Chains A and B, each alone.
Chain A
């Protein structure tokens, strides 16, 4: 049901790319999302134009100074020179101050606006369902709140300002050139129009070349990482030379791409320089001819050369900036795409229901579920779980048992049928209650690069050390915490790498215990741990499930044995259910699983 509410931005559960937004629509939407950007923008633009005016007028005043003062017919007119120099100095100061004000205003407004946009996009990514999040790589999600936003800010702060100034300067210079000599102005424009298209063409070429460089950097990093992360394997198999050859190939590919991009960029850049120089030559030739014919004074011709300089710089800049604009818009589109992707598993909010605390009853009512574009993994499942019951769900890999855990904790919604907690449809339960009453312990309990204590209390940051120690004692884990080098203060490393897999599971279990849910959904980890930790894990699970309704997606025989009831899932359907000792005797699917388990544990 919720999928149908997906707006035009998304297809199915995917994340919007914003690709269908035009440049203009992107800029407008961007301005709406970050009102800080446009607040006071007219003052900023006015100041920018003022500084542009200064930039054009000051050289012109200098020109006047030379023409009227220095080159006055009766020899240098010192009074005039100093007057003009004084006026120019005032112009310089005004230009500098308005440029200063523009810089400060732009940085402040853009950084405020984009920080808010970044945070909003970040929050929204967490609101998206697992399915939606999983349509994109984590790194790609990260880039939407980092580098994509950075390209916007770089553009707003450097390019955007330059664009305003450049366009102003081009307009002013053109007006002045026309005023001096419409013919020469036409000559200049005639030289630059082809350059404009040429530069745009080159920018495409250069842009693609730099994209290639970025790809090569990625491959280079990958190759280098192999030498670092695969150090043991490389030594054990004595494949240093093979690895070195792979790395060298990546290094050379990167070097070649970088040099290639550099050469292309140089060609593009010098094309502009060349045309500028050529324009000067043509203007001088045509101007001389005009001066000879009395249509221009020598002073005017030299003044015009100044204007040509004023014109060529911003034209080259503006064309380059237009390319940056495309980059920024692309980044902006991606950020907008995220923000405009509707959260398909949404909090019902005010309209929702709060569940009172206490033992919970679960009813799964004819639920069918398929992952996007796939066959149903669960078909027409019904299951009644009474309060405080301990249920173990078992089945082969791919039977659909992990999906059941996701459905019960509302990480996904059923395609057909419904799930009820205490008689209320899960989709109507407000997230506040849902997340406090129903807690999922995933297979891989992610650990943050912080102390053990901070990781344990991730779900309840206000919990003090005392409470954590008590909790550990209740779960029989106090000796474990004490055995770590710095106790609770032990840093766990990136993703908890300093702890063993089993210890990471313990952290996940303590977190769940502190959250104190009424319904516990436990997706057991498959990875093997040493027997001592295994026992700790089992005891912690016992402590955690005591007195609660619990559903364990079981990979261990002991969990199934300890459950009140075992539910056997096979190819998306519930095929058997009942207590362990009865199912074992029935000789069905469960009996087979049990036999293979027992064989491994030396029963």
Chain B
């Protein structure tokens, strides 16, 4: 009891109570099974003792045994064995259903939160952490339900055994009362020593895996720069740490295991010694001593189940705290009840004095606000094509995200068809607007599933969209065509192919508003050109907003919004901006100017390099 801090034990009890409340039936089954197992394990010694005293002993003494007596022996023992086995089955199956049922229920709740919590919350939590909250932490929380019924069954068993012992001889019972708590304490101490060591080894195992993963992913650069030895040394260092941690675990185990194993045997010996003394004084019979000694040796193993439960408590508490942090998180996006006017015609969109800041956790743990957009106002009329242009970090992607309500502005409003996005019902915006992010995200689903995302459209429409996105060629070459599963996050496809499928996903919806966040960055410039031209033809009834970094993309826009440091510096047609806005002209012509400068240098260098290069 002293091995785990009281507060942890209390919290652990709370977790257990919660689990029992949610899975009372299966837990009940497991406890009943465990009790049955406990009683039958204790009963076995008693039954053998009784049979020896009442049937076998007299029969041997009489040198005569009837078939009925033999049947009695065989059937009595078999009955106890059957009930014992039934107890084990009920206990373990019940515990399994309870434990995995709880795991599944909490995974659902946690992932539901992931789907509902705002992107702002997602930005603050690394994806690796969220994955382990839903997987490893949920598992750690409910794993305690595996040994728990056993431990509860052991209590029944101990009571049963103790009562037997007290009836036979209180002094022997007193010996047991000393040994069981000793065993219990040794187990608890073992778990307490062990669990930080195991945790550390587990962490190091993850580190080894991380180094290996990173290093193998970097294999090309390792080769290109001949850094194999350096990488091997890095891996060796963390492998050696793991080795030492594992050896430390081995030491603890090596010390405690034999000790814990010896305690019951020593207890049995004490029982025999004391029992022999008691028997010599005529307090009890020798047969009773044998019975108690046997009972003692049978009971001592399951007592370890307490140690297992105690060992799981800290893990369960930590797991639960992490899971609960997700479940308690608030701030899910709220929706109104307004629908957009029906139809297929393009919709105007506008932002009015929009501010947005990211929340960054600084090293001291407090939250800093990093402003990204400040007082941004833009107007995009229905059916127009507008390019958002600006240097890296100017807030282009954030603005695009605000326009499709991935996030809400801190202040100001975004209006689609003059309706505040926050007043729209859930799904209303998605029915009218399509968004293609910079990093195309594909589900592990078929090509069709990735394009439609559940929208009811014909295969012809899917192919039409793929054609516009210039994805029809490679999709028809896939082994299953539209039915090909694209692998985890589209791993079987190249970056450009993923972007094209993401574009088709937007196009197939005939959106009234299309927002492309640099969605063609991984596509060959010439192909990008074809896609944008096809899109322009197809998207007659669509307002298009495109975050652009290529000149060709900018050239497609009627209107350009030039962002710098989170503010709109200027907007208007490209030709006008280039005339009147020097920073804009600098940015978009940087490449052209640079090429010109290089051409000039080359001309002056020409004689020299010509001399060096033999024809």
Q: Is B70 an interface residue (CB 8 A)?
A: yes
Stretch at the interface among B8-16, B94-102, B180-188, B537-545: B94-102
A141 partner residues in chain B, CB cutoff 8 A: 212, 216
Task: Report the separation of the CA atoms of residues A66 and B334 in the bound assembly, to the nearest whole angstrom.
Answer: 77
B551 touches A600 (CB 8 A): yes
A277 touches B51 (CB 8 A): no
Q: Is B253 an interface residue (CB 8 A)?
A: yes
B594 touches A262 (CB 8 A): no
B230 partner residues in chain A, CB cutoff 8 A: 461
Task: Report the separation of the CA atoms of residues A98 and B257 in the bound assembly, to the nearest whole angstrom.
Answer: 12
A221 touches B272 (CB 8 A): no
Task: Report the separation of the CA atoms of residues A195 and B72 in the bound assembly, to the nearest whole angstrom.
Answer: 25
B223 partner residues in chain A, CB cutoff 8 A: 126, 130, 411, 435
Task: Report the separation of the CA atoms of residues A533 and B228 in the bound assembly, to the nearest whole angstrom.
Answer: 31
A123 partner residues in chain B, CB cutoff 8 A: 228, 232, 235
| Given A62-B293, A225-B131, A528-B521, A262-B286 contact (CB < 8 Å) | no
- Residue among A107, A397, A501 making CB contact with B246, cutoff 8 Å: A107
**Interface positions of B from 233 to 268, Cβ below 8 Å from A:** 235-236, 239-240, 242-244, 246-247, 249-251, 253-255, 257-259, 261-262, 265-266, 268
**Interface positions of A from 229 to 268, Cβ below 8 Å from B:** 229-240, 242-244, 246-248, 251-252, 254-255, 258-259, 262-263, 265-267
Closest A-B pairs by Cβ, 4 of them = A107-B250, A435-B226, A277-B81, A103-B254
Q: Is A145 an interface residue (CB 8 A)?
A: yes
A252 partner residues in chain B, CB cutoff 8 A: 104
Task: Report the separation of the CA atoms of residues A291 and B220 in the bound assembly, to the nearest whole angstrom.
Answer: 78
Please name 29 pairs of A and B residues whose Cβ atoms are closer than 8 Å in the assembled complex, sorted by A: A65-B276, A71-B290, A76-B280, A81-B272, A126-B223, A145-B212, A225-B131, A227-B111, A231-B119, A236-B406, A243-B443, A244-B112, A247-B111, A255-B101, A259-B97, A262-B93, A277-B78, A281-B77, A284-B73, A288-B55, A298-B52, A298-B60, A442-B221, A446-B220, A502-B392, A535-B591, A558-B598, A600-B552, A602-B551
A227 touches B276 (CB 8 A): no
Task: Report the separation of the CA atoms of residues A388 and B614 in the bound assembly, to the nearest whole angstrom.
Answer: 11
| Given A138-B213, A284-B51, A461-B230, A82-B119 contact (CB < 8 Å) | no
Q: Is A153 an interface residue (CB 8 A)?
A: yes
A273 touches B212 (CB 8 A): no
Q: Is B107 an interface residue (CB 8 A)?
A: yes
B85 touches A89 (CB 8 A): no
Task: Report the separation of the CA atoms of residues A448 and B212 in the bound assembly, to the nearest whole angstrom.
Answer: 12
A266 touches B93 (CB 8 A): yes
Q: Is A53 an interface residue (CB 8 A)?
A: no
**Min C-beta distance of B146 to chain A, whole Å:** 9
- Residue among B59, B209, B431, B529 making CB contact with A288, cutoff 8 Å: B59
**Min C-beta distance of B397 to chain A, whole Å:** 10
Q: Apart from A123-B235, A130-B223, what 18 extra A-B contacts exist at CB < 8 Å?
A: A71-B290, A78-B280, A103-B254, A103-B257, A107-B247, A107-B251, A224-B107, A228-B131, A232-B119, A273-B85, A281-B74, A284-B51, A288-B73, A294-B63, A298-B60, A435-B224, A459-B227, A562-B598
B73 touches A71 (CB 8 A): no
Q: Is A5 an interface residue (CB 8 A)?
A: no
- Residue on A with the closest CB to B37? A273
A255 touches B103 (CB 8 A): yes
A122 touches B235 (CB 8 A): yes
B81 touches A280 (CB 8 A): yes
B272 touches A100 (CB 8 A): no
B65 partner residues in chain A, CB cutoff 8 A: 288-289, 292
A284 touches B77 (CB 8 A): yes
B60 touches A221 (CB 8 A): no
B266 partner residues in chain A, CB cutoff 8 A: 89, 92
**Min C-beta distance of A364 to chain B, whole Å:** 16
Q: Is B495 an interface residue (CB 8 A)?
A: yes
A139 partner residues in chain B, CB cutoff 8 A: 213
A111 touches B107 (CB 8 A): no
Q: Is B162 an interface residue (CB 8 A)?
A: no
Task: Report the separation of the CA atoms of residues A277 and B445 in the bound assembly, to the nearest whole angstrom.
Answer: 51
A242 touches B391 (CB 8 A): no
Task: Report the separation of the CA atoms of residues A459 and B228 in the bound assembly, to the nearest whole angstrom.
Answer: 10
Q: Is B84 an interface residue (CB 8 A)?
A: yes
**Min C-beta distance of A160 to chain B, whole Å:** 13
Q: Is A118 an interface residue (CB 8 A)?
A: yes
- Residue among A108, A127, A266, A274 making CB contact with B81, cutoff 8 Å: A274
A236 touches B435 (CB 8 A): yes
Q: Is B595 an interface residue (CB 8 A)?
A: yes
A247 touches B108 (CB 8 A): yes
Stretch at the interface among B149-157, B379-387, B422-430: B422-430
B212 touches A142 (CB 8 A): yes
Task: Report the separation of the CA atoms of residues A227 and B121 in the bound assembly, to the nearest whole angstrom.
Answer: 13
| Given A89-B266, A534-B591, A535-B591, A231-B122 contact (CB < 8 Å) | yes
| Given A142-B213, A259-B97, A284-B48, A103-B131 contact (CB < 8 Å) | no
